[in-house]
Chain A
Amino acid sequence: MRSLLNAAKTGFTEIWAHKTRSVLSFLAIAAGSVVFIDAFSAIFATYARLEKQKEISGMARMKISQNYSQTYSSPDDYVPPPVFRYEDVLRLREKMPELYMVSPEGRDWRNVLSYGDQRLTTSVMGVTPEWTKRDFIYTLRGRFLDWNDVENKLRVCVLVKKAAPPPGFDKAMMKKYNFTGGFDMLVAHNDMLGKMVNIDGFTFTVIGILEELPYSKRTRPITGNSQDYKILAPVTTLVHYNFIGQQSLDINIDTGSEQNYDESMRKINNFLKIRFGDGDFFIVENQLEGIRERIAESIKSALVTISLGMLAFLAGGIGIMNVTLATVFARTREIGVRRAIGASRRDIMLQFIVEAVMLGLIGGVLGSALGYLWGVPVKVMLGMGGSPVKPWMPLVSVFIAAFTAFIFAIYPAWVAAGLKPADALRAE
Chain B
Amino acid sequence: MSITCSELTKIYEGGKTGWPALRGITFDIKPGEFVAVTGPSGCGKSTLLNIIGLLDEPSGGKYSLNGRDVFTLSDLERSDTRRDEIGFIFQSFHLLNRLSSVENVCLPMMYAGADSGEMHKRAIALLGKVGLHGKEKKIPLELSGGERQRVAIARALANSPKLILADEPTGNLDSASSKEIMQMLVDLNAEGITVIMVTHDKELAARAGRNIRMCDGRIEK
Contacts and interface: CB of A to CB of B under 8 A. Distances in A.
A72 B56 CA distance: 99
B88 A341 contact: yes
Contacts of B112: 342
Interface in B171-213: none
A132 to B, nearest CB: 71
A244 B111 CA distance: 91
A17 to B, nearest CB: 6
Secondary structure at the A interface, as helix, strand, loop or mixed, is helix
Interface size on A, as a range, is 20 to 34
Contacts of B98: 13-14, 17
Given A420-B56, A425-B94, A341 B111 contact: yes
B73 interface: no
A340 B116 contact: no
A341 B75 contact: no
B110 interface: yes
A422 interface: yes
A2 B107 contact: no
B218 interface: no
Contacts of B55: 336, 339-340, 420-422, 425
Interface string B97-122: 01100000001101111001000000
Interface stretch (A39-47, A267-275, A321-329, A343-351): A343-351
Given A341-B108, A341-B111, A341-B155, A421 B84 contact: no
A342 B50 contact: no
Chain B CB within 10 Å — which of A14, A333, A421 has the most? Answer: A421
B148 interface: no
A333 B112 CA distance: 21
Interface string A332-365: 0110111111111111000000000000000000
Interface in A402-423: 420-422
B94 A2 contact: no
Interface in B8-64: 50, 53, 55-56
Interface in B75-94: 75-76, 79-80, 82-84, 88, 90, 94
Given A421-B55, A422-B50, A344 B80 contact: yes
A338 B111 CA distance: 9
Chain B CB within 10 Å — which of A3, A14, A333, A340 has the most? Answer: A340
Contact of A344 (B76, B90, B110): B76
A242 interface: no
Contacts of A342: 79-80, 82-84, 108, 111-112, 159
A337 B53 contact: no
A343 B56 contact: no
Nearest to B90: A425
A6 interface: yes
A425 to B, nearest CB: 7
Interface in A370-428: 420-422, 425
Contact of B116 (A2, A333, A339, A347): A2
B75 A340 contact: no
Given A422-B55, A425-B55, A425-B94, A339 B113 contact: no
Contacts of A346: 76
A157 B50 CA distance: 100
Chain A CB within 10 Å — which of B96, B99, B116 has the most? Answer: B96
Interface string A215-251: 0000000000000000000000000000000000000
Interface of B: 50, 53, 55-56, 75-76, 79-80, 82-84, 88, 90, 94-96, 98-99, 107-108, 110-113, 116, 155, 158-159
30 contacts: A2-B113, A3-B110, A3-B111, A333-B94, A334-B96, A337-B95, A338-B107, A338-B111, A339-B79, A340-B55, A341-B82, A341-B83, A341-B88, A341-B111, A342-B82, A342-B83, A342-B108, A342-B111, A342-B159, A343-B79, A343-B83, A344-B79, A344-B111, A345-B75, A346-B76, A347-B79, A421-B56, A425-B55, A425-B90, A425-B94
